[in-house]
Amino acid sequence: MAKRWKNTLTSADVTPEEHYLNRRQIIAGLASIGLAGGAAIPALAAGDLKPDTWDTITSYNNFYEFGTDKTDPATYARALTTDPWSIQIDGLVERPGTYALGDILAKMTTEERIYRFRCVEAWSMVVPWNGFELADLLQMAGLKGDAKYVAFETLHRPEEMRGQNYPILEWPYVEGLRLDEAMHPLTIMATGIYGKPIPNQNGAPIRLVVPWKYGFKSIKSIVRITVTDTQPPTSWNKAGAREYGFYSNVNPQVDHPRWSQASERTIGGGLFAKRKPTLMMNGYEGDVGKLYAGMDLSKHF
């Protein structure tokens, strides 16, 4: 098994569930947390905002497979069938095959991970995920010696995912990580939020979470994982290479061509809330910075 990551965050650091699910609100405040190497990482503190109704909470989300409007996923994702579910694992692995999700979960160590989450749209939050380390899944499949990258693919089922009937992106949605990124203890496969199964509109039944990268790297509703020796294509990079690089590490020094990444809004504070500085690699630089030693992060953005 991969080296376990020690979680020292508490519920006091968590963005309240109603604020996580409703991106129209923004929290204010900071708290200090620590990771297993002793590095202190600023995290958002919970706010005291009045919760919205359940309908409002679950009606604002990005998942283009169900449409481009923020209310589309909650409206249409109920059509998605998530049970049974399986993941095809292939490429440079010793034990390729199609694995039932239940069989995978029976072999994994599932735990809560409370992570900062930073969207490329320049808002942020703290989310308590439930999941397991991707490294454990890759080790279960057995990595071959020439493995260098890991590619991911979202379900393609236009009859249930209505947005896939339109050329919003090239379907199916695909993402990728370098192998050392995929094997890092912070990288998880999430199956729950707040101790509950992930809602369909948020990527049920299983998604990737890479906390030092912009949120679109955390691909949803995964059905295929391919280990390869070649850097895989990624959906947003294919759609706009000038705006979305392969690495997509949170970096306040590298702006999006259409807006600054130097600061961010925290969920719960309102549209005109004071922005706060964005942390390099979303505050996880002390844990993952060594993965990019010697790289020009303005070129490899």
For the stretch 54-90, pLDDT in tens is 333 234 568 899 999 878 988 899 999 999 999 999 9
pLDDT at 50: 32
pLDDT tens string 7-53: 555 555 555 555 545 443 332 222 223 333 323 223 322 335 232 22
Q: Which tops the pLDDT comparison, 16 or 117?
A: 117
Q: How confident is the model at residue 128 (pLDDT cuts 50, 70, 90)?
A: confident
Q: How confident is the model at residue 201 (pLDDT cuts 50, 70, 90)?
A: confident
- Of 118-132, 151-165, 268-282, least confident by mean pLDDT is 268-282
Residue 89's closest CA among 80, 79, 99?
Answer: 99
Which positions make up the binding site?
61, 64-65, 119, 154, 202, 207, 218-220
| Chain-centre distance for alpha carbon 50 | 27
Structural domains in the chain, sorted by start = 11-292 (3.90.420.10)
Identify the sign of the CA torsion 289, 184, 250, 12: negative
pLDDT at 269: 55
> Quick check: 142 and 94 in contact, CB under 8 A?
yes
Neighbour order of strands in the sheet with 97-100:
97-100, 86-91, 222-228, 149-154, 174-178
Residue 21 three-state SS:
helix
pTM of the entire predicted model:
0.83
Residue 225 carries which side chain, given as an amino acid letter? I
Phi, psi of 273 (to 5 degrees): -65, 150
> What average pLDDT does the segment 120-143 reach?
91
Residue 147's closest CA among 157, 158, 139?
Answer: 139
**CA distance linking residue 289 with residue 10, whole number of Å:** 24
Which positions make up the binding site for Mo-molybdopterin?
61, 64-65, 119, 154, 202, 207, 218-220
